[in-house]
Every structure is written in C-alpha cells, then in structure tokens.
Amino acid sequence: MDLTLHVWRQKGPEDTGKLETYKAKNVSPDQSFLEMLDELNDDLIKTGQDPIAFDHDCREGICGMCSQVINGRPHGQQELTTVCQLHMREFADGDEIFIEPWRARAFPILRDLIVDRTALDVIMQAGGYTSCHTGGVADGNTLLISKPVADYAMDAAACIGCGACVAACPNSSAMLFASAKVAQLAVLPQGKPEARRRVLAMTEANLSEGFGNCTNHYECEAACPKGISVKFIAKLNREYLKSMIPSAME
C-alpha cells in the first residue's frame, strides 16, 4: 500500500520545527510501523536527504523507548500497543498519517521525533531507595506477600516508563507514571518503610521537573500501552494523605 506521511522535522532543541510530507510506497501490511519508517529512511538516505530521527530499542514493546504520536494518539490507534508493536495492517492504502513527537514542556525535543525524557528518571531518582536485606539467601517464605498484593504490585510494575501518559495528558502531568511507582512500592515489604518519604518526593519532582497537575481527565489510562489504571493515581492520593498523618497515629 501507499501512504502519505506528515512527519515532524526539527533539527535541534532550538529549531522551531515543522511538519513535512513524505510518500511511503509499497508498504507491506506485515511491516511494523518502525520498519515502515526504516524503509522510508533508506530512501531518504539514498536520495541524499536527512533520515527521520526516532527513538527505539527493543522493538518488542518492553523498553519504552519508542515514542511517536500517530494521528493525535500516543503510540497510535491500537489499544495496549507500543509504536514498535503497531503493524501496518492497522492502516489502509492511501491513508494520511501524522507523526509527531511527545509534546510536553518537560520533554524537550532533541531532534525530529526524539524527546528528552530525563525528567521521568528524575522522578524515579526522587523516589529513592527501598530497604531490602542483603547477604545470604533468605529462608523461603520469610517475607510473605499475599497473591492479591503481588498481583496489584505486578500490575503497577508493568509500566515501561515510555511517557505516553504525559504525551496524552491535556495538562502534561506525569501522575500516572509516578503513581505506578508509588503504588507498587507502597504495598510491598520492600518499599513500605519509605512510603511516606517516597510519595512526597515523587509528587514534588512532578512539579519541579515541569510536568502539570492531574485534573482527572484520564486520557493517560486510555493512551497507556501497558494498561496502567488510574486507580493507582487514587492510591497515590491516598498515600499522600497518609503521609500527612503524624507517624504515631498510623
């Protein structure tokens, strides 16, 4: 199939950038979206043009590097799917496709579709350490974690840190990301002791890194390729409220 692509081109952080139009010819429906861009880039290189810069790494939906807004939707129209796992069979011959980078003040555009997501790492670092025993192997079943708690923590831990939630949020808030970390660690024995400090530090970092405030639009949950639920944001709010109560009363 043949497609018309409108791709955001920007030489560097200071450049203003604009959408440019390209034709992608003979696209196979079995290609992934990134493979389609790889072939387009081959053509661009052969004709002496600048290839389109985009982020990617694992190409199997687990690393969180790929980050493109396709027709207004972070990671494209297919639910629970990263760009690298999106296939061209989701599109039809003759389609026009708009491809843009994540847009948020906290994610400066480095080049074309590549943004700097260091701000998410800063939120992670603000979360700090978890206490775990080191040394010899612990006896089996010394740390009991019930199945529902383990499942809950696993659901939160599924976050791959891609930043689609921020890209989708009308306020550019990173609350879904932060809440996944806060919720996961607040329910486990490895993490509970630092829960109060963590929720305060991570929510503070959300603002100091230039993300917006959550106003419960829930666009993040709809965009998240890993199905992280906004129930974790409610959990983060609860953890924050708990951190206000003096420890003796907990």
Site for another protein, rule CB under 8 A: 6, 19, 69, 71-73, 98, 100, 103-106, 170-173, 175, 200, 203-204, 206-207, 210-219, 221-223, 229-231, 233-241, 244
The answer to the question of residue 158 lying near ligand FES (CB under 6 A) is no
CB 16 within 8 A of CB 10: yes
> Using CB under 6 A, which residues numbered 148 to 167 contact ligand SF4?
159-165
Parallel, antiparallel or unpaired: strands 96-100 and 18-24: unpaired
Query: How far is the CA of 44 from the CAs of 37, 50, 96, 99, in angstroms?
Result: 10, 6, 19, 17
Q: Name the token pair of 12.
A: 């560097």
Please report, as ranges, the residues that interact with ligand HEM according to CB under 6 A. 215-216
The answer to the question of residue 27 lying near ligand FES (CB under 6 A) is no
Nearest approach in angstroms of CB 99 to ligand FES is 15
- Which does residue 131 bind out of another protein, ligand SF4, ligand HEM, none, counting CB within 5 to 8 angstroms by kind? none
Nearest approach in angstroms of CB 128 to ligand FES is 26
Nearest approach in angstroms of CB 236 to another protein is 7
Residue pointed to by tokens 């982020």:
55
A 10 A CB-CB count for 73 gives 18
* Member of 52, 70, 84, 159 binding ligand FES (CB under 6 A): 84
* Member of 10, 32, 68, 82 binding ligand FES (CB under 6 A): 82
- Which does residue 237 bind out of ligand FES, another protein, ligand HEM, none, counting CB within 5 to 8 angstroms by kind? another protein
CB 83 within 8 A of CB 34: yes
Instruction: Name, in order, each residue with C-beta under 8 angstroms of 38's C-beta and a sequence gap of 6 or more.
Output: none
- Which does residue 219 bind out of another protein, ligand HEM, ligand FES, none, counting CB within 5 to 8 angstroms by kind? another protein
From the list 166, 169, 226, 177, the residue with the least C-alpha distance to 202 is 177
Nearest approach in angstroms of CB 117 to ligand SF4 is 9
DSSP structural state of residue 53:
P
The β-bridge partners of 96 are 4
From the list 163, 117, 113, the residue with the least C-alpha distance to 11 is 113
Size of interface with ligand FES, in residues (CB under 6 A): 13
